[in-house]
Structure 1
Amino acid sequence: MTDSPVKDRTVVVTGAARGIGAALADALARRGARLALLDHDGPALEATAAALPGTAVAVTLDVTDADALEEAAEEIRGRLGRPSVVVANAGIAEGGPFALTDPVTWRRVIDVNLVGSALTARAFLPDLLRTAGYHLQIASLASIGAAPLMGAYCASKAGVEAFTHSLRAETAHHGVAVGIAYLGWIDTDLIRDADRHAALRELRTHMPPPADRVHPTATATARLTRAVERRSTAVYIPRWLRLAQMARAAIPPLVLRASRHHLPRLEAEEPLLPTGLLGAGGHADRTTATGR
């Protein structure tokens, strides 16, 4: 697509080794963008970068490492030019009762999803100010309505929503656009791994339609690509999530009612235990942290 606004622009995507990050990077590369891919899973990241058309740079780092992000920003400026777009996509999740969750794992989810997003914005904000660029924060249905057994993830995604609104208000007069993407259930390895755990699977499948539906990654990628090209303030995937945003005050009582109905049965069937970090990204995070 030679007429895309991202053609010949530098775009940074975090959490780009797999899933939505990798798919979005591919879509933007096919529109002529120069891609800078960031992730802590070096081998998977290198493979993703090698498969992209056009120019791509892979930088292996942990988004909670402020110094590494600053060094990455400097490297990207030198190799690709100042970024015009930054997509803060890196994220991890775990499930299970809060009282049984490993505090280190709980904190890690907060650090990657919330602190890592803020540090990403800080590292690349000088570039976006110079280019009057666009920052897109990947958020979640969990930003709008918190669910049981996902305390750290919901807290982190509510936090990135508030941070995004604050950043937008701070930078708008400089010509920087800041957007947020609210994603429902998307067919990634994280969601597939969550569905292997009976409690998480049943909590999803007992949500009222259409909230229980898992959507193809390609659908999310297409919508996110358009959001980047249009510098959208908000994108809802699926679109009906905009209605949930408007009715968000009614969501906690509905979640409470459903939890009181379903959790006793699930607890009676088998113990509700922490899942640990979910998906291939979670496995890579554990491997990086423990060296195993």
Structure 2
Amino acid sequence: MNGTLHGQVAVVTGAARGVGALLARHLRRRGAQLALVGLEPDELAKVADELDAGYWTADVTDGAAMTRVAEEIADRYGRIDVVVANAGIATGGPFTDADPAAFDRVIEVNLLGSVATARAFLPALIRSRGYYLQIASLAALTPAPMMAAYCASKAGVEAFAHSLRAEVGHRGVKVGVAYLSWTDTDMVRGADQDDVLRELRSRLPWPANRTYPLEPAVARIADGVQRRSAHVYAQWWLRGMQAVRGYLPSLIGVVGPREVRRVEPRFRATAGTRRGLVGAGGLADERLRESATRSAARR
């Protein structure tokens, strides 16, 4: 198989579905050997079998497990050239009504899970003078009401990746940040099951108020991996957000309260129906923690 990634070994976290699974397919078509990491062994196995890839089941917030996975991947393939920190979850709704465990878990997985991923894989990337790509979001560029946990976590991983770039650049490692707007994934479809959240999103200004197809967004990310880009924009208009991001907190501070006041009665009426994490990936994470709690109780 020919391609500019031919002979390189790429690790993708959160690879069981969505952005991670499709990105793995793109990287494989461009010649990379793949090591897939995620929480859902059955889904991971399907993707791995399709792509002739290895896969490892691990929680990205478990630093010891991620270090073990990194060592096993390096032993199996002899090197690691690319790591894409993609694993992520989300929750939505008013902060004052949020399930504290779900809120904290979003920050733990999205931010601290990315930190654990970088800590585990950087030794191999330093040896190969490789590339680390952090998947962020439009939520890193602009705050949004009802998305406090997700925005905080994605702003955090963006800052983490920028800091990391300055620390490891002299050692030959390139670090990139990828930004996506609302993209057609299980996570976004799960969030849209909440009627109030879906309506709020529909009232955002164009082009932030629409859901974008997954394939072209991931193709742009794969292009960024090939180029080892410092910034990757899954939708064309996100690049322009960099120029205005400094004005957005003040703007949203003016407009946001009006929108929240309008829908607050409906949020209160539906508070009992709003569960913790959204989408299939969120459900997988909840099941993992429930299983761990039951195992601890049996000891």
Coarse TM-score class (shorter-chain normalised)? over 0.9
% identity of equivalent residues? 53
**Which runs of 5 or more residues in structure 2 are unaligned?**
295-299
> Can you give the 5+ residue segments of structure 1 that lack an aligned partner in the other structure?
none
Matches within 5 A, 1:24-173: 24-52=23-51, 55-173=52-170
Question: Which residue in 2 is equivalent to 1:289?
Answer: 289
Q: How does 1:191-270 map to 2 (within 5 A)?
A: 191-270=188-267
C-alpha separation between the residues in 2 aligned to 1:122 and 1:170? 13
TM-score by length of 1: 0.95
Task: Return the letter of the residue paired with 2:48.
Answer: A
Deviations 1:196-223 (Å, cap 9, x if unpaired)? 1122212211111111121111011110
Query: What TM-score, normalized to structure 2?
Result: 0.93
- 1:182–1:236 Cα contact (<8 Å) kept: yes
Aligned partners of 1:164 and 1:180 also within 8 Å: yes
Partner of 1:277, secondary structure, is coil
SS of residue in 2 equivalent to 1:64: coil
Cα deviation digits, residues 213-257 of structure 1 (max 9, x gap): 211110111101100000000012212112111111211222233
1: distance between equivalents of 2:283 and 2:228? Answer: 33
How far did 1:270 drift? 4.7
AA aligned opposite 2:177? I
CA contact (8 A) 1:12 1:87 kept: yes
Q: Is the 8 A contact 1:40 1:61 kept in 2?
A: yes
Distance 2:68 2:81 in 1: 18
Distance 2:115 2:261 in 1: 38
User: Which segment is superposed worse, 154-163 or 191-200?
Assistant: 191-200
Deviations 1:41-74 (A, max 9, x none): 111111111122xx31110000001111111011
Task: Name the count of aligned residue pairs.
Answer: 289
Amino acid of the structure 2 residue aligned with 1:148:
P
Q: CA RMSD in A?
A: 1.4
- 1:95 and 1:275 in contact (8 A); partners too: no
The structure with the greater share of residues assigned to helix is 2
